[in-house]
Structure 1
Amino acid sequence: MSRLYGDPIEVWTRDGEPTQFVWHDRLYLVRRVLDHWVVAREWWKTSEGDPGERRFWRVEASPGREVGSYELRFDTAGSGWLLMRAWD
């Protein structure tokens, strides 16, 4: 079962891919990237007229021994990361 969040997170990357992130004051190490996709935003829905992109990663990550699946999103227009979803 998955849960939706949309929580801001701090993310470290290597070659554009997330390698670790902090969520709820816990450091998660990305063990594996399961999927990656990009969604272009519609220019008419942005106040600046710059559509930017939303880049998504579905990753396996863990703060310790227990590994979970997480969906991370980076918004190029706002330069911010969000944890969008977590799977048990």
Structure 2
Amino acid sequence: MSRRYGDPIEVWTRDGEPGRFVWRDRLHVVHRVLDHWVVAKEGWKTSPADPGERRFWRVEAARDGGTGAYELRFDTSSGGWLLMRAWEGD
């Protein structure tokens, strides 16, 4: 079962995809991308050059003490990342 969060996270990318991220002071290393999708809406645009996109990745990542699946979101307008959902196991 997943849990919803919406917590800000720090993300390091490689080849345009999340490679690792810090959530709740714990480093998570991405092993693979499970899914990727983009949602764009006019109302999210902050300028004519802004695509108004939110880019989502569902990733499998390892952390101290276990692995899990995580849904990450990148907002092109703000340049910020959020952890939206987590499926954590041990």
One fold, TM greater than 0.5?
A: yes
Separation of aligned partners in 2, 1:66 and 1:39: 30
CA distance in 2, matches of 1:46, 1:74: 13
Distance across 1 between alignment mates of 2:57 and 2:87: 13
Instruction: Provide the C-alpha distance between the structure 1 equivalents of 2:30 and 2:65, rounded to a whole number of angstroms.
Output: 12
Residue ranges of structure 1 left out of the alignment (5+ in a row) = none
C-alpha distance in 1 between matches for 2:24 and 2:5: 12
- In 2: Cα distance, 1:47 partner to 1:39 partner: 12
Task: Please give the alpha-carbon distance, in whole angstroms, between the structure 2 residues aligned to 1:47 and 1:57.
Answer: 21
**How much is the aligned-residue C-alpha RMSD, in angstroms?**
1.5
Q: TM (normalized to structure 1)? A: 0.89
Q: Judging changes above 3 Å, is the alpha-carbon distance between structure 1 residues 10 and 40 closer, same or farther for their aligned structure 2 residues? A: same
Q: Secondary structure at the match of 2:46?
A: coil
Aligned residues: percent identity? 71
For structure 2, the residue ranges without an aligned partner over 5 or more in a row are none
One-letter amino acid of the structure 1 residue matched with residue 53 of structure 2: E
Q: Scaled by the length of structure 2, what TM-score is found?
A: 0.87
CA distance in 2, matches of 1:46, 1:23: 25
How far has the Cα of 1:77 moved from its partner? Answer: 0.7
